[in-house]
Amino acid sequence: MPRSTAKFISYDLRPAKQSERRILIDLLSIGGDCGLPINTYRYVGMGANRFYDYLLLHKYLGINKMVSLEHDQKMFLRAEFNAPYKFIEVKQLTSAAFISGDLNVDPTIYWLDYDGGIGQHLVKDIISLSPKLKQGDFCFVTVSGTPPGAIDKSSDEERLIFLHENLPEVSGACSIEDVERSNFPDAVHKILIATFKNAFAQRRDGRFVPFLQVEYADSQPMVTVGGAFLSDGQALNMASKVRIGLPFLDANTTSLYEIRSLHLTERERAIFDRAVTSPKRRCVERNALMKLGFKDIEIDAYKDLVRYLPRYVETMV
């Protein structure tokens, strides 16, 4: 059993991860606009000892039925101690054990935020979860975008063979280019999309729509794929609203959206704010940013994320 990353990663300073959380909040809010009673949902996730997503889901969406899974015994004790709300039920269970024994019928948002890389355990969890999702339920999966330990030092050819042999049903779309270290998030993305597609292929009462397909890197590359199990009418309605509210997300895309890490000073950020909210693409502020060495791709990325990038304040004591 892998050790919890909360022991050696500072979750206080992960701007890209925090941006992802805020995007997910908006995505769920759009579900609410489509008639889904989001504030009545149960949330099942992996809060570790910080519970950031739990705080946001309660603050912005009013969710007050929550479960946090923690398989690590020492981290379980810290998670219980640090749970910010009484209604968070911390369970010392793996995701597989929880899914197999979960009989709750409440509408649910699942966020399986794994510590490690892609593997059979993750595929099995999604397959086990697929018959339990009801119309209107959400499921998101986050996994490392780096090669698993068994193939970390392998050649590209050996990585591809490993994936085809160990994940034969879901790795067929992976190419030799995808398994290069710098491109491995693309292989993870293709495997996750194929897994969701296969897992829900037999369902006739709805379809799974992957509204969120993103990659980011605070300390290491991470990939998140997730969405909702909806009727055809619900899917069309929500897709239409997502195109308006979150235009950089596209459920029909075959590529990942990158949440870029933009390391800016407060003074630079003030210029970015004005540049991306100007009605003119070429404006004084954009020209100033270009002179400082910023590129169009960075400014456009900031425009996508202007509402989601966190601000951190340093205090000296």
pLDDT in tens, 78-123: 999 999 999 999 999 999 999 999 999 999 999 999 988 999 999 9
CA–CA separation, 96 vs 128, rounded Å? Answer: 8
**pLDDT score at 9:** 47
User: Residue 97: enclosing H or E segment and its boundaries?
Assistant: helix 95-101
Over residues 230-237, the mean pLDDT reads: 97
**pLDDT score at 13:** 64
**Higher per-residue confidence, 215 vs 74:** 215
| Sequential DSSP letters for 113-176 | E-SS-S-HHHHHHHHHHTTTPPTT-EEEEEEESSPPGGGTTS-HHHHHHHHHHHSTTT-TT--T
Each as own residue / partner, the long-range contacts of residues 294-303 (CB below 8 Å, 24 or more positions apart, any chain) are 298/260, 298/262, 299/272, 299/275, 301/258, 301/260, 301/262, 302/262, 302/272, 302/275, 302/276, 303/276
Q: Kindly report whether the global pTM for this prediction surpasses the value 0.85.
A: yes
Residue 274 has pLDDT above 60, yes or no: yes
The model's pLDDT over 171-227, given as tens digits with 9 standing for 90+, comes to 999 999 999 999 999 999 999 999 999 999 999 999 999 999 999 999 899 999 999
Going by pLDDT thresholds of 50, 70 and 90, the confidence category of residue 12 is low
Please provide the average confidence, as pLDDT, over all residues in the chain.
93
Return left, alpha or beta for 264; rule: phi > 0 is left, psi -120 to 50 is alpha, else beta: beta
Residue 11 has pLDDT above 60, yes or no: no
The model's pLDDT over 278-288, given as tens digits with 9 standing for 90+, comes to 999 899 999 99
**Higher per-residue confidence, 203 vs 4:** 203
**pLDDT score at 4:** 52
Extract the tokens encoding 202. Answer: 């037999």
**pLDDT score at 2:** 54
Which stretch of 44-53, 54-63, 254-263 has the lowest confidence by average pLDDT? 254-263
